[in-house]
């Protein structure tokens, strides 16, 4: 849910780290850490599924 809010996937409205942190009652740094971990998991899953060595291979 945090990443959806950051990426405008929550009703198309972007939310800053601070806004997201305030909504969940956690620190801005904790939101950043959660976001970093979530993107790492997504990146890893894409690399495994697409049999690529890095996400840059897909993006460029």
Buried b vs exposed e over 16-41: b needs ≥16 C-beta within 10 Å?
Answer: ebeebbeeeeeeeeebeebbeeeeee
Contact present, 6 and 14 (Cβ < 8 Å): yes
**pTM score:** 0.61
Dump pLDDT digits (tens) for 3-55.
555 555 556 677 888 988 998 999 999 999 998 998 888 888 877 777 666 65
- In this prediction, residue 39 carries a pLDDT of 86
2-11-14 Cα angle (round to 5): 55
Q: Does the 2-59 domain belong in CATH 3.40.50?
A: no
What is the residue extent of each domain of the chain? 2-59
């Amino acid at each position: 849910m945090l990443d959806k809010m950051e990426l405008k996937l929550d009703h198309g409205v972007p939310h800053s780290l601070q806004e997201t942190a305030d909504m969940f009652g956690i620190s801005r740094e904790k939101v950043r850490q959660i976001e970093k971990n979530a993107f790492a998991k997504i990146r890893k899953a894409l690399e495994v599924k697409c049999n690529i060595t890095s996400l840059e291979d897909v993006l460029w």
